[in-house]
Amino acid sequence: MGRVGTKDLSQTLIPSDIWSSLCTKMGALRLPSLTSIFAVSSARSSLFSRRSKQLNVRKLTSAVKVFAKSTPATEVAPAESNQKLPVQEQGITPRSQDFNAWYLDVISMAELADYGPVRGTMVIRPYGYAIWEAIQDYLNIKFKETGHSNMYFPQFIPYSFIEKEASHVEGFSPELALVTVGGGKELEEKLVVRPTSETIVNHMFTQWIQSYRDLPLMINQWANVTRWEMRTKPFIRTLEFLWQEGHTAHATLEEAEREAMQMIDVYTKFSYEQAAIPVIPGRKSRVETFAGADKTYTIEAMMGDRKALQAGTSHNLGQNFSRAFGTQFADENGQRQHVWQTSWAISTRFVGGIIMTHGDDAGLMLPPRLASVQVVIVPIWKKANEKNEVLDAALSVKDVLHKAGIKVKLDDSDQRTPGWKFNFWEMKGVPLRIEIGPRDVSSRSVVISRRDIPGKPGKVFGISMDSSVLVPYIKEKLDEIQSSLLDKATAFRDSNIVDVSSYDELKEAISQGKWARGPWVGSDEDELKVKEETGATIRCFPFEQPQGPKKCLMTGSPADEVAIFAKSY
């Protein structure tokens, strides 16, 4: 449109001391902190050193572009210009160029998260945490509607608990953080910082469950968990993360199975309806089943680089933990039985999934239902005498939308040009932008731009400021964007899943970066061979299965089900 421009700050003089502090700052924002105190695995270390080499030069340049925010106005003269910088020059590596660099850039520039001082930890900043809060708000209601109560278990678990369930200890022991000193004294038994709570939950369940009348027992907790991961990535895999973990106990296997399925269904609906992510729900293979579960159900999401993300899981634990901990009840005939259990979780990893599903070269793109800012208002004025009337109109539009329950932000700072603000809020993924200039004030109308449709096609002029017009218009557009994001992600997903009937076809699909879907009755060894040779794993046996007779792509034997293979995070 060229209505307004972005100032090119690289043309501005910057005092050298501020420059150097800025360079330090930019480094600190994206590189592992100097205070990071652990040896890093070779995989990770190479990942980061590569990043740091690539980024330092670029960042020193791009730092200038984002500089004004932290510089006193007296030192950087506010300049107006009609030059519009390509977004990538503001610091974000284009997604199409380097997906991983783009992802880390978005997290940093959109202020979603930062590295913590301890290797592999993450500070979730307000704009990122707001996404997690929106996830919590939705799921918390669904959990309660389906009969679960929130509670809280201690995070310190006696080491001996972890050892009680054989496959559980095998799965988790390499990842444990251990507290060995408390109150200045060496502890007699070391404590595990919870990696998950099945063990302590069962320890408590034995005290609360006596009779079938105490069942089902259905609880959930929102908590932090710790897993000593070697290869970490913000949101996707961090040493400590936030999640909810549901835990239930039932009188019968059938009930537990129904519960496990119900909760994967809650996650699936959440993904489609709130996050606009067309996950594929299904069952994990034996190899990929949770350590301690009989069956694991999963929702698998395709990221923008076509790698799979396990975005949530629900486990039918059978009687594995109840037998290990003696969690029993007296049935209607007075017989002692072990309870049947489930557990299910979604974590802050899901935030990473949202970024990697919808984002584009310009940055983040948030689904309206999870966006903490759904509409940003950018007022535009050139002359001082225009400022008041424009700001008044912007404030009254803000007020109208706020009262209608729309999450709206007015960016009325005079430190930034409108053009800079356009780029900034696009990069932050805000679904709709409202522009109000002097001419709009005269005509009592606004200009509205969609984040998901760049440029002119996504821009509409002359929408009345009148609330009876504006409010329904905005609500409709938010709904349209919500659907459109889901449609786009679904089309992308479907065009990147290949139906295969032989191992060669599978290898071909995987080598093209796609997902392969084909009949499978292979052994665990066959599955591990595929992983070794292609890097792909069975993501799931999807619930939705094609009809008709099938032959295993690997063994040629008759197969009941197709599996989906993909490389994954």
> Which of 181, 384, 468, 547 is the binder for its own copies (CB under 8 A)?
181
Of 219 and 390, CB closest to its own copies: 219
Kindly tell me the sign of the dihedral angle through the C-alpha atoms of 303, 308, 310, 316. Answer: positive
Q: Does 180 bind its own copies (CB under 8 A)?
A: yes
Binding mask 17-46 for its own copies (x = CB under 8 A): -x--xx--x--xx---x-x-xxx-------
The single residue listed with the structure tokens 């486990």 is: 315
Of 204 and 356, CB closest to its own copies: 204
Give, as ranges, the residues between 231 and 250 that touch its own copies (CB under 8 A).
Answer: 239-240, 242
Of 132 and 515, CB closest to its own copies: 132
d(CA 17, CA 1): 37
Give, as ranges, the residues between 298 and 337 that touch its own copies (CB under 8 A).
Answer: 330, 332-334
* Residue 116 CB, nearest approach to its own copies (Å): 4
> How close are the terminal C-alpha atoms of the chain, in Å?
39
Of 405 and 546, CB closest to its own copies: 405
Per-residue tokens: 152: 């809280």
Of 46 and 211, CB closest to its own copies: 211
d(CA 285, CA 566): 13
> Which of 10, 52, 155, 337 is the binder for its own copies (CB under 8 A)?
155
* Residue 173 CB, nearest approach to its own copies (Å): 7
* Residue 367 CB, nearest approach to its own copies (Å): 20
Give, as ranges, the residues between 405 and 464 that touch its own copies (CB under 8 A).
Answer: 415
d(CA 546, CA 527): 21
Characterize 94-124 residue by residue with b for buried, 16 or more Cβ atoms within 10 angstroms of its Cβ, and e for exposed: bbeeebebbbbbbbbbbebbbbbeebbbbeb
Give, as ranges, the residues between 41 and 70 that touch its own copies (CB under 8 A).
Answer: 69-70
d(CA 301, CA 310): 6
Which residue(s) pair with 436 in the sheet? 379
Angle, to 10 degrees, between the axis of helix 42-65 and the axis of helix 16-30? 140
> Which of 126, 462, 546, 558 is the binder for its own copies (CB under 8 A)?
126
> Which of 153, 243, 297, 350 is the binder for its own copies (CB under 8 A)?
153
Is 351 in a helix, a strand, or coil?
helix
190 burial class (0-12, 13-18, 19+ CB within 10 angstroms)? middle
* Residue 11 CB, nearest approach to its own copies (Å): 20
> Which of 46, 78, 83, 133 is the binder for its own copies (CB under 8 A)?
133
What separation in angstroms does the CA of 105 have from each of 29, 445, 453? Answer: 10, 36, 22
Q: Does 158 bind its own copies (CB under 8 A)?
A: yes
Q: Does 150 bind its own copies (CB under 8 A)?
A: yes
Of 2 and 334, CB closest to its own copies: 334
Judged by CB under 8 A, the number of residues near its own copies is 88
d(CA 560, CA 522): 11
